[in-house]
């Protein structure tokens, strides 16, 4: 094999090929420290042409590539395995002016969500997707993994923001489709195919995104309900009556207890309740009255508190958003991200403790999530050496209830062994045919999404 | 070759294999009578299992298939060419109960839009896509062509309604993904890949669609503006201020004159204006005041009339909706469906008359469309024997302005010669690789979307 590092230095400059283990380290382990591997080097191109040259060089040398954005993924999809070239896209940070006529913007794959949000808001617009990792997560990675977050109810996932992209195929060919046409029926939608493909079909270098109106008036309600069924009843009422609804988050008594103890928060209500729903509405004018009317009419509401000011809203959001931090403080959790059809949600939540206890005695699951999509983040504490059995038990329950083993995090390396729970043999064969059509030599992200054959 | 008709009779019953030319005729010509061909027979399966058996039989015999839904397409994509088996899906008309919890429904490919609308409305919901061919257009065809229509501004195209589907691949394998999960990141999105693939990758047999709230209160404004730029200024204001905006349609003075003469309609305003925008808002409560406020504030408005009652709304919609009928009454038009980025729209509209006149002296283009998507329906009257030159000239103009040669109608057979205007060589190669991966022997819809090789 020729010295690929030397070739890569010629493409991106010597300062952007990192071979020293100390320099590679930050790229070789994900931020949760659950996934780690070894890259033969890290290469940091600055534009699409350099990415294409890097991919061509690796393809010619038969060296596989792991593609990485902000390294904020939760399933190890951007972490190398055994000696790949790690292609980091963070230097692709060009950000074009907001196209106000179209409400769209074109951004380099390495632009962080936070930078994009600031850019959009300066033009009186906003990004439809928001998530906690915004300061590091890059838009390229968010498209490649079809990121979700707290606003999916209102604006959809990352793929729904996408009106075009630019990508480098496994042979170094560049596909460019950035005109941002809202309606374009000229053959297979390559843009949608690459969204959520986790870097296994192409390297996304630029994305064209629709923006949404910046809504200055927000109101948040924290609502106590008698359990999952009550949460669903409230959701149904909110969805049909609140045109401004932008988030509906679900959590349970055990999670709230943990959050309260961790953050020394006061109890939200005089009494304790089995479950809680946080609703957020966003509009041009104050949506508080609309929420109050709904709460007054909805039988599922056991108690509720509403905040229209920023401090009050943040106080209510903290009960939901501090879950991750409070759980991590209590131990190293097995983290799963699943969804089921809404009619299956209460049954799944009821079955989880038994299923977890059966394989990991003494372990306990804390559950919270995005109720509109039936999307639960299942965090199991105290699983000890039974992490794999817990994962297996929970994912099998989800599959029995016609759910998905990965609702918003993707497959990555972590979920590959369980992919067949969510995908039929016929579907897996179709996925493999697509992979082979785009990347016949398996250069791009081997071991991610599909098993290496 | 074995007698394929005999095999097909064994699958669907003798009454559903039509060989007699008189019986085939209605399937062999599209409703516009612009596209016609010959099928060796028409086969009408009643469910997915029969479709799979038909596809397997045709694949085994090496007989290509043309897939047809309601035969309301505008680009000849569902019309046979030379002796294919015509696979008609209109008998796949099962309609499951509306899933009110999820606001979704599963429908057989042969269910008409009109039936689906009635079904959804009976449950207090509605279908996000609406179009004029609703009484015959089938949901399978609408997904296969990613149909658009008048509500794309609010709810997106058919692909945006789609949460899952069932389809038969070229080898007879059935893919079933109908759980309707709102968020599911377990590999390449086959559902989105098949949407808009025009029957060339698989035969869609069932679809799972999200439904939208049924909005009882509507208001329509017909607004006179000074031209395309004025229309865009009005659109921008409406989009940012009217959360209930659900349609924004554009037409011009020459179209309005034709419509008025054809339908004996009175003038909408005391004076004539260069262009007109129809805005519709839909909400739970009357949006009339919201529209009136916008119109009062927007400098682009030259004159305006607003209707909140059903008769008044229909009267205003007639100025826009009668365009197709009035144009057809005036002659046989060359019909093109294009879009460009909004910044290119005024330039394109200005250039069109000259470009048409250069290749077809005396011809004239009537233009109308969906302004939010930059989507124009260009209808050229009097092109005579220069239809192909007119098509070529208009589509080249569109391509120069970074537009799409098919915004909502698809490629079909009609646009194949011009596909390279909208797709780069690299993209066409990627489309072909996908086609080959799914249908290596070219059994499904040969000659549609991609050239036969």
**B415 neighbourhood in chain A, CB within 8 Å:** 186
At A1, the pLDDT band (50, 70, 90 cuts) reads very low
- The nearest CA of chain B is from the CA of A101 a distance in Å of 7
Grade residue B243 by pLDDT with cuts at 50, 70 and 90: confident
Distance from CA of B128 to the nearest CA of A (A): 15
Q: How far is A10 from chain B (nearest CA, A)?
A: 26
**A453: pLDDT strictly greater than 90:** no
Q: How many inter-chain contacts (A to B, CB under 8 Å) are there?
A: 235
Q: What is the per-residue pLDDT for B432? A: 98
Query: What is the average pLDDT across A49-61?
Result: 98
Mean pLDDT of B74-87: 95
User: What token pair was written down for A222?
Assistant: 């924290």
Question: Nearest residue of B to residue A197 by CA position?
Answer: B188
- Name the residue ranges covered by the structural domains of chain B: 4-88, 104-213, 217-324, 331-408+419-426
Topology at the third CATH level for domain A331-408+415-426: Alpha-Beta Plaits (3.30.70)
> Can you tell me the mean pLDDT for A49-55?
98
CATH of the domain spanning B331-408+419-426: 3.30.70.2740
Determine, for residues B189 and A179 on separate chains, whether the beta-carbon distance falls below 8 Å: no
Chain centroid to Cα B164, Å, comes to: 19
**Chain B partners within 8 Å of A282 (Cβ):** none
In A, which residues are within 8 Å of B243 by CB distance?
A: 213, 243-244, 283-284
ipTM value? 0.96
Q: Which of A148, A183, A232 is best to mutate for the B interface (most B CBs within 10 A)? A: A183
In angstroms, the CA A104 to CA A127 distance is 10
Q: Which one of B181, B406, B426 has the shortest CB-CB distance to A185?
A: B406
- Mean pLDDT taken over chain A: 96
Taking phi first (over 0 means left), then psi (-120 to 50 degrees means alpha), and beta for anything else, what does residue A172 get? left
* pLDDT at residue B452 in the model: 84
CB contact under 8 A, B182 and A429: no
Nearest by CB to A437, from B102, B103, B436: name it. B436
- Does CATH number 3.40.50.300 belong to domain B104-213? no
| Distance separating alpha carbons of residues A385 and A405, to the nearest angstrom | 21
Q: Do A284 and B374 touch (CB under 8 A)?
A: no
Instruction: Tell me which DSSP letter residue A286 carries.
Output: -
Number of neighbouring beta carbons within 10 Å of residue A330: 16
pLDDT tens column, B173-220: 999 999 999 999 999 999 999 999 999 999 999 999 999 999 999 999
pLDDT tens for each residue of A354-402: 999 999 999 999 999 999 999 999 999 999 999 999 999 999 999 999 9
What's the rounded mean pLDDT across residues B77-90?
96
Topology agreement, domain A104-213 and domain A331-408+415-426: no
Task: Determine whether the interchain pair A184/B406 forms a contact, defined as Cβ–Cβ distance below 8 Å.
Answer: yes
Residues in chain A within 8 Å Cβ distance of B160: 160
Distance from CA of A285 to the nearest CA of B (A): 11
CATH number of this structure's domain B4-88: 3.30.43.10
Percent with pLDDT over 90 in chain A: 95
Q: How long is chain B?
A: 453
Domain B217-324 has CATH 2.40.50.140: no
- How far is A5 from chain B, CA to nearest CA, in Å? 28
Instruction: Indicate whether B319 pLDDT > 70.
Output: yes
Please tell me the predicted confidence (pLDDT) of residue A2.
53
Mutation pick from A75, A101, A188 vs chain B, by most beta carbons of B within 10 Å, is A188
Q: Which residues pair with B209 in a beta bridge?
A: B105, B162
Mean pLDDT to the nearest integer, B295-300: 97
CB contact under 8 A, A100 and B236: yes
């Amino acid at each position: 094999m020729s010295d690929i590092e030397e070739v890569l230095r010629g493409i991106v400059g010597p300062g952007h090929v990192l071979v020293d283990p100390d320099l590679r380290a930050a790229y070789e382990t994900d931020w949760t420290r659950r996934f780690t591997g070894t890259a033969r080097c890290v290469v940091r191109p600055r534009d699409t042409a350099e990415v294409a040259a890097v991919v061509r060089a690796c393809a010619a040398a038969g060296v596989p590539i792991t593609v990485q954005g902000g390294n904020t993924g939760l399933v190890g999809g951007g972490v190398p395995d055994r000696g790949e070239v790690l292609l980091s896209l963070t230097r692709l940070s060009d950000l074009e002016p907001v196209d106000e006529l179209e409400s769209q913007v074109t951004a380099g794959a390495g632009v962080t969500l936070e930078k994009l949000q600031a850019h959009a808001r300066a033009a009186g617009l906003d990004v439809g997707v928001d998530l906690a990792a915004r300061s590091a997560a890059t838009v390229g990675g968010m498209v490649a993994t079809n990121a979700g977050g707290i606003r999916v109810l209102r604006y959809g996932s990352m793929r729904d923001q996408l009106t075009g992209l630019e990508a480098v195929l496994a042979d170094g060919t560049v596909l460019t489709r950035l005109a941002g046409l809202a309606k374009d029926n000229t053959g297979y939608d390559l843009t949608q195919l690459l969204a959520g493909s986790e870097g296994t079909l192409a390297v996304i270098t630029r994305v064209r995104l629709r923006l949404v109106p910046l809504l200055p008036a927000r109101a948040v309600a924290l609502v106590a309900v008698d359990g999952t069924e009550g949460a669903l009843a409230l959701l149904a009422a909110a969805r049909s009556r609140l045109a401004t609804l932008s988030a509906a988050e679900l959590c349970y008594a055990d999670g709230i207890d943990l959050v309260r103890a961790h953050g020394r928060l006061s109890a939200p209500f005089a009494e304790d309740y089995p479950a809680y729903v946080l609703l957020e509405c966003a509009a041009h004018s104050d949506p508080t009255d609309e929420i109050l009317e709904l709460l007054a009419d909805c039988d599922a509401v056991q108690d509720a508190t509403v905040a229209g000011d920023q401090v009050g809203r943040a106080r209510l959001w903290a009960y939901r958003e501090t879950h991750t931090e409070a759980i991590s403080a209590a131990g190293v959790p097995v983290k799963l991200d699943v969804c089921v059809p809404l009619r299956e949600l209460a049954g799944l939540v009821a079955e989880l403790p038994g299923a977890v206890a059966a394989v990991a005695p003494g372990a306990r699951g804390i559950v919270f999530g995005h109720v509109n999509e039936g999307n639960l983040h299942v965090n199991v504490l105290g699983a000890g050496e039974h992490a794999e059995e817990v994962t297996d038990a929970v994912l099998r329950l989800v599959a029995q209830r016609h759910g998905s083993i990965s609702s918003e995090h993707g497959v990555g390396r972590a979920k590959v062994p369980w992919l067949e729970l969510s995908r039929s043999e016929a579907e897996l064969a179709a996925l493999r045919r697509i992979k082979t059509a785009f990347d016949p030599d398996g250069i791009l992200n081997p071991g991610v999404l599909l098993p290496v054959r």
